[in-house]
Structure 1
Amino acid sequence: MKTKILVFFLVVFSQSFFSQKIDQKYFPKEYVEITHPEWSKNATIYEVNLRQYTPEGTFKAFEKHLPRLKSMGVDIIWLMPIHPIGEKNKKGGLGSYYSVKDFRGVNPEFGNMQDFKNLVKKIHEMGMYVIIDWVGNHSAWDNSLATTHPDWYTKNRDGNFQPTPWYDWDDVIDFDYENPEFRQYMTESLKFWVKEANIDGYRADVAGFIPVDFWENARKELDQIKPVFMLAEWESRDLYKKSFDMTYSWTLFEKLKDATTQNKGIGGLVEYLAHDVGSVPRNAYRMVFTDNHDMNSWNGTPQRNFGKGLETSIVFCGVVNGMPLMYSGQEAGLDRSLKFFDKDPIEWKDHPHAALFSTLFHLKHKNQALWNGKYGGEMVRITNNKMDKVISFHREKNNDAVLPIFNFSNEELLVTLDSKYFQGNYTELFSKEKIQVKESYTVSLKPWDYKVLVKD
């Protein structure tokens, strides 16, 4: 009985938030004070694990993949840290990207500064943009700052350097952002790469461990050089206002996992969508994903995390509010966890996921309903007769509209949607079937099936 009451409450709660436009009284339109780069409004993003991308693992070798990524619809190339890696207390044979020995240097494993500049130039020439990973919370033990400015680090009770408290990051030592001289150094280092190599922004590692006022000032100074794009590895509203264009949506990853392989149903997903519409600032961007370097190396492959619902989850990320991410090798069906501290090249091969991502990315470019933040259409829930298994919604902007339907179950279902307010002629994105949606629309869905109806 308690279960039935809970399900009823979730349905009523989610509909009250999700089936109509939400009054943005808590987040007025101008809550996000930064200006997103114009090119980011319908952008997609791709994470590059350079070490594992090619047998050579270099900037030059990666350049050969740029035409393929461009043709797939990738806009933002996110490079994992490009800096020299510390030797002291390093992990594995090659060490962690995230143990930075020199914040203004290039890892010789990848090439030199000129090689990096050439890569950035080629990316720009192809109409794409590049951001680099920034590890501002800590450094390698043998970073020269530990010798020249030991006062820039936190200390334990014995007065010694310490890894970031609470984590087993024993290959790095923790910075002290209470020191104004250190803040200035780190801000100038961020500006260095924009000025020197013409990069377009940063992905900030554990951004929430660093004070918000540091990021707000850094963003202001970076934007004075050129409009930058900032991605926070964090999930917090306070980072949107003056600092970051986009944050991670870790929650969606977990709720998709719950709905596919953890047998928890779609209640968590519905709650996520309701909160996204009701509590996320309208002009904020969220990065949505089924894999990234952390998930792949430490939490298993997408195949394990999402099982038979993997493609369903990929498509879901392609049409909900947010910017979809593709991680290195996903388009090749990467089905193993890449080693993090040693060489472990990706096996490149043809795979259906390449076409899946490409179709979604190109749809995002041209269909304004799927654009990012305020540029896109709000998600409006469509009720159906299988509310405990099927999620259906509608997004519309400037006469562009999509109507996605997802079966998050292992059952074959005949689903009827209450589509009174969403009538029209549509084309199913993947099958190209022409569909007329009337006051109600009935569709047969196989287990884990999905349909994305695009309004003609």
Structure 2
Amino acid sequence: MKQITDPRYEPKNYVKITTPDWVKNATIYELNIRQFSREGTFQAVNKQLSRLKKMGIDIIWLMPIHPIGEVHRKGTLGSYYSVKDYYGINPEFGLEQDFKNLIKAIHDAGMYVIIDWVANHTSWDNELVEKHPDWYMKSRKNTFQSTRWRDYDDIIEFDYKNPALRKYMTEALKYWVKEFDIDGYRCDIASFVPIDFWENAREELDAIKPVFMLAEAEDKELHRKAFDSTYNWTLWNILHLISVQGLSVKTLTETYLAEHVSIFPKEGIRMNFIDNHDKNSWEGNQYSNFGDALKAVIVFNVMMDGIPLVYSGQEAGLNRSLEFFEKDPIEWKTHEFSKLYTKLFKLKHKNQALWNGQYGGEMVRIMNDKMDKVISFVREKNGDKVLTIINLSRDQLIVQLDTSFDQGIYTNLFTGKKRNVDSTMVVTLDAWQYTILHLTGNYN
């Protein structure tokens, strides 16, 4: 019998953008320029690029590079996110040529660079306030207003109902791509800005060169025509509760992951993180937020579907909150986390199962007899395969897993030893311990 197809009912791709090929197995590093060195300059960043590349970083995200407002400034140096001039360079970091030199150095090292973009608001003394007061939101008293319901009194909020504002902001975004050859943007509180603005801006940016766009938001609709990647705030919250309150792993698997693999667009890429400037500045540090579980959740974040983030200093064991409005340089030292990230990122680059979004393998649950404490799953793509088993509890456990669909001879990522996996596998795991077994065609 001849099959009759009706185009009205054929599946259609949810996502309409094309993510650059170089993002397929990429990692991200959020670089806090002010605190990254004692100098706090673009030039000082150059000195550490080779180290970041060796660790396995692919995309450098620079926190805002623009001049900071002085009116109602917070602290001595102010917030990066109180933008005084969208076309200017913060003199604290250096000159325009210094920035161009940094971008070239990043590219020469085989990495890419995105910059932080604050489209929702400006400082009180941005020239746009006087030139175009109608571009801003007004309170009931007809005065400029800070971001609603938040204590951000050093900034005032735009009103995107104005087409002239949209054109200005789009041209400003295009300027840094055309004139400085940056590779995309991390967009601050992206969901506060109308999605149709972002969709149009993405189209105009891609006409210049393929860009990578990261939204500080979780909305899956942002992936349709605007953003390649969005934040995984929900995952952070669940892992935090498991780590500090002993929440059952079933909350992660049956609530979050079941929804993630079912309804999140396959082309979309979640950004997984342990720390970032918001968490670190206002909600503690990687140690206080995850305690003894820290290494386990680092491993999970890289094995999990999504693009992993490292925040400045994490790899050096950063154990405090960095000052946000003052100078507070990171203390750089050799730390085991640098080696851990290097090993994990090497596997991610080589093994296609761990690649990002649609480029990688879907997470498939492996059943075990300790499902409330142990998460176990497999990812597979083009012959590459990774088995992840993590004890997300304070207990020492003997765990039996159903590996009937995953039999074979694997390599243990951390010992380098071979392991034969039969239809049933039994492993002993200390508290917060993990086992990563992989089949990688091009791993050495």
Q: How does 1:11-90 map to 2 (within 5 A)?
A: 28=11, 30-90=13-73
Distance across 2 between alignment mates of 1:377 and 1:147: 52
Partner of 2:4: none
How far residue 27 of structure 1 moved from its aligned partner, in angstroms, is 12
Question: Which portions of structure 1, spanning 4 or more consecutive aligned residues, are displaced by more than 2 angstroms?
Answer: 26-29
How far residue 29 of structure 1 moved from its aligned partner, in angstroms, is 6.2
Partner of 1:427: 411
Identity %: 61
Partner of 2:119: 136
**Secondary structure at 2:394 match in 1:** coil
How far residue 267 of structure 1 moved from its aligned partner, in angstroms, is 2.3
For the 8 Å contact 1:258–1:268, the answer to whether it is kept is no
Distance across 1 between alignment mates of 2:313 and 2:248: 29
Alignment-mate amino acid for residue 179 of structure 2: E
> Are 2:98 and 1:115 aligned?
yes
Q: Give the TM-score normalised by structure 1.
A: 0.93
How far residue 109 of structure 1 moved from its aligned partner, in angstroms, is 0.1
Partner of 1:337: 321
- Cα 1:29/1:441, change in 2 over 3 Å: farther
Unaligned runs of 5+ in 2: 1-8
For the 8 Å contact 2:246–2:393, the answer to whether it is kept is no
For the 8 Å contact 2:189–2:215, the answer to whether it is kept is yes
**Secondary structure at 1:281 match in 2:** coil
For each residue in 1:244-303, what CA deviation from the matched residue of structure 2 results, as whole angstroms up to 9, or x when unmatched? 000000011001001111222212211211111111101111100100000001010110
Alignment-mate amino acid for residue 247 of structure 1: T
* Aligned residue pairs, count: 431
Alignment-mate amino acid for residue 97 of structure 1: Y
Partner of 1:321: 305
How far residue 28 of structure 1 moved from its aligned partner, in angstroms, is 4.9
Alignment-mate amino acid for residue 249 of structure 2: I
Alignment-mate amino acid for residue 79 of structure 1: L
How far residue 37 of structure 1 moved from its aligned partner, in angstroms, is 0.4
- Cα 1:121/1:28, change in 2 over 3 Å: farther
Q: Give the TM-score normalised by structure 2.
A: 0.96
For the 8 Å contact 1:94–1:342, the answer to whether it is kept is yes
Q: Of the candidates 388, 400, 403, which is equivalent to residue 404 of structure 1?
A: 388
Unaligned runs of 5+ in 1: 1-25
**Secondary structure at 1:155 match in 2:** coil
Alignment-mate amino acid for residue 72 of structure 1: M
- Return 264-273 or 189-198, whichever deviates more: 264-273
For the 8 Å contact 1:29–1:282, the answer to whether it is kept is no
Partner of 2:256: 272
> Are 2:311 and 1:311 aligned?
no
> Are 2:252 and 1:293 aligned?
no
Partner of 1:124: 107
Distance across 1 between alignment mates of 2:376 and 2:162: 51
Distance across 1 between alignment mates of 2:323 and 2:414: 34
Distance across 1 between alignment mates of 2:42 and 2:133: 33
Distance across 1 between alignment mates of 2:150 and 2:10: 34
For the 8 Å contact 2:229–2:268, the answer to whether it is kept is yes
What is the CA RMSD across the aligned residues, in angstroms? 1.1
Q: Of the candidates 422, 439, 443, which is equivalent to residue 455 of structure 1?
A: 439
For the 8 Å contact 1:245–1:285, the answer to whether it is kept is yes
**Secondary structure at 1:71 match in 2:** helix
**Secondary structure at 1:290 match in 2:** coil
**Secondary structure at 1:77 match in 2:** strand
**Secondary structure at 2:76 match in 1:** coil
- Cα 1:28/1:57, change in 2 over 3 Å: farther
For the 8 Å contact 2:27–2:57, the answer to whether it is kept is yes
Partner of 1:164: 147
- Cα 1:27/1:208, change in 2 over 3 Å: farther
Partner of 1:197: 180
How far residue 433 of structure 1 moved from its aligned partner, in angstroms, is 2.2
Q: Of the candidates 322, 343, 366, which is equivalent to residue 359 of structure 1?
A: 343
Partner of 2:375: 391
